[in-house]
Amino acid sequence: MPKTIDDIIPPSRRRQMTTESAPTLTPDYQPPAEDMPPIAQPPKNIRIKSGPGFPYGTVLIALVVVAVCVGVLYAFSNARVEVTPRSQTVTASGEYTATASAGDLPYTVITVQKDAVKSVPAESSLTANDSAQGTIVISNAQTKPQTLITNTRFQSSNGLTFRIHAPVTVPAGTATAPGKLTVTVYADQPGQNYNIGPSSFTVPGLQGSAAYTLVTAQSTGAMVGGFAGTRAAVSQATDDATHAALQGTLAASLQAELQQKVPKDNVLVPGSSVTTYTTLPDTATSTQSVSLAVQGTLTAVVFPKDALAKAIAYKDIGTYSGEPVTLDSVGKLSLTPASTSTPATDTYPFTLSGTTNIIWKVDTAKIAGAVAGKTRDSAQSILIGFPEVDKVVLVLRPFWTSTFPQDPNHIKVMVNASGS
């Protein structure tokens, strides 16, 4: 039988070795360090949190955002009043009387004059004794109107006599603002020597009175048509057709020029203008052609827009008490003058019909002063009591502001278009 190490070592020695190699087991016994797994130790420079900390960064960001928002609100802060003015559509009716350049309803007379000329081929010849004719502007520096009868003479600066073919009345005026009237005059005799250029004129019939120096006249264009002898001519049919076409051309041209002459803030009511056409004498430009001409004169009466609005409001709005008003349009109104002739006195009676829209005028400075320093509710109550206000919108920013600034200059007032 094979031997083991125990068979070689004596029993006493075996017991000693066993005692030395097997430690005594006690309650405090711990196995050798090499038999236990190592315990992990945290690094000395790392702190281990025991719970969640205060979010300082988040709070700081939130505060910055709030501050920026408040700053933006103040940067765009404003106080604004949006006003829609009161308006009322009225049907105009009744009689009115305007006065020349003065009074509650003043009027101004505008005159536009133009010539239209066309050369047509000659169709025959004739022996003519034609008188020259043209227009003059009569001035009256007297404080009373001056009436001139049919065939009143006007003498040019070179001694030639021209006459009017119908009675006229020249409006009154002053030395600095004389009354004026444009009329057509005709040479006293036929012939080319009456075809004179612009000239000044006196009225021989007034000589010996104060009116002689106060009533004068001036032409701005040449006298034309004077002729004595044989010249080229056209048939009556050609003459009539050509003159009719020239009148049509003049009508549009006169209206266009009149619109340009209407003073600012004045209105031209349909029916307040009169157009007259004068057939100028035919003249032969050569043996092969004839020059036909028509002179058109457009005379119109215009009124200050606000003054006419007031006159209509007083007559047709029972609750109106004189507040500033204006008109949005006169296109649907129609005016009929009491006389079809040009106004010849200080007054101009007429009737009105049709509809128009009266709009109350808003004084923005007055509105700003009324709401300055007032709360929103107080400002609303004050403005609604104004007769010129129909609707009002109050804007205050930032949203927590409830009072308008004390300084009216810091309040913006906007006037919206009328809703009527």
If one counts the domains in the chain, the total is 1
Q: What range defines the domain where residue 177 resides? A: 128-231
Give yes or no for a contact between 121 and 307, defined as CB atoms under 8 angstroms apart.
no
CA distance 114 to 355: 33
Give yes or no for a contact between 189 and 200, defined as CB atoms under 8 angstroms apart.
no
DSSP 319: T
* pTM exceeds cut of 0.75: no
- Rounded to the nearest 10°, the torsion over CA 360, 361, 364, 368 is -30
CA distance 213 to 312: 41
Question: 351: which 2 tokens?
Answer: 């009737």
Of the candidates 160, 274, 155, the residue with the CA atom closest to the CA atom of residue 218: 155
pLDDT of 40 = 55
Give yes or no for a contact between 329 and 356, defined as CB atoms under 8 angstroms apart.
yes
pLDDT of 16 = 54
In a domain, residue 65? The reply is no
In a domain, residue 154? The reply is yes
What's the per-residue H, E or C state across 85-144?
ECEEEEEECCEEEEEECCCCCEEEEEEEEEEEEEEEECCEEEEEEEEEEEEEEEEECCCC
CA distance 98 to 404: 45
In a domain, residue 272? The reply is no
Residue-wise pLDDT for 163-194, tens only, equals: 999 999 898 899 999 998 889 999 999 999 99
In a domain, residue 173? The reply is yes
In a domain, residue 224? The reply is yes
In a domain, residue 166? The reply is yes
Residue type, 327: L
Q: Pick out the chain residues at pLDDT < 70.
A: 1-54, 56-57, 59, 62-77, 285-286, 340-345, 419-420
pLDDT of 75 = 43
CA distance 123 to 287: 10
In a domain, residue 192? The reply is yes
pLDDT of 283 = 81
pLDDT of 33 = 52
In a domain, residue 395? The reply is no
CA distance 49 to 151: 123
DSSP 222: -
Return the ∠ at Cα 73 (arms to 70 and 76), rounded to 5°. 150
